[in-house]
Structure 1
């Protein structure tokens, strides 16, 4: 089967999406939505140099893939859900919808999840340390000496 002729912009889009760990099926749908072009999952896979299908990817696309992946892994700040405030807002919307639907069990779970996002501020759980600094063993407790008070005839 011959490769479909894709322009530079579409190839760049595909390579960068794959570098950001999007599955070929997700990239296929994104290409259709963004460019109005139908591409097969197999064609998308030929642009991923980490896969056998993309083993003969041109050097410039391989370089773009590697640079995009490196930047993606180093900077998660561009991913909305990586921010606690975004997650809390989403949990808020879900909890409100669950309450509106009368699903109190789900609403309670969402409230608990929100509390965990805030550092267990809502729960009565206690965290116990089983290791010391840098994962080292905790120091042994100091011995306790018990003194006997004189009886003085009492």
Structure 2
């Protein structure tokens, strides 16, 4: 096995942390660094595998940070964005000529992609209106609330002559 320089080790660890397979990493290393390595050598840099148990603390920490960032930053993936997906579907649709079956499938896929979009938009607009009302003092609770006196009266219902008696102070407010 070839001895790898630090930048190649980092590249391998980060690739594995992003869920690339050892074979994909081998191909990427060949393309990026023009070095041929084996899948077994790549596996040494995956701390989640038994073969990677002797990986340095520095590279283990890099793996952990990279994986956490990769899993939490889905917004960095273009296809995670609905507008990007719809644009790609539109390009595919425009590129089709005469294939009605495929066009129909793409239209259905676009329709499915849009499912609930109008409701999401409406919800966002309503929330913004509520926020604006509160900010401008036009909404509910904009005025100072009037204090109300609340009295709780307990009546023993086990007695025959138990009745609720109104308190005149409680009727106002």
Return the TM-score normalized by structure 1.
0.70
> Structure 1 residue 112 and structure 2 residue 122: aligned?
no
More helix by share: 2
Aligned length: 117
What residue number does 2:20 align with? 22
The structure that has the greater radius of gyration is 2
What residue number does 1:151 align with? none
1:5-154 correspondence runs (5 A): 5-97=3-95, 99-100=96-97, 102-119=98-115
**Take 2:81 and 2:30, find their aligned partners in 1: how far apart are those partners?**
29
Deviation at 1:103, TM superposition (A): 2.2
Structure 2 gap ranges (5+):
118-173
The list of structure 1 runs, each at least 4 consecutive aligned residues, that deviate by more than 3 angstroms after superposition, is none
**Take 2:66 and 2:105, find their aligned partners in 1: how far apart are those partners?**
37
Deviation at 1:28, TM superposition (A): 1.2
**RMSD of aligned residue pairs (Cα, Å):** 1.5
Deviation at 1:120, TM superposition (A): 6.1
Structure 1 gap ranges (5+):
122-154
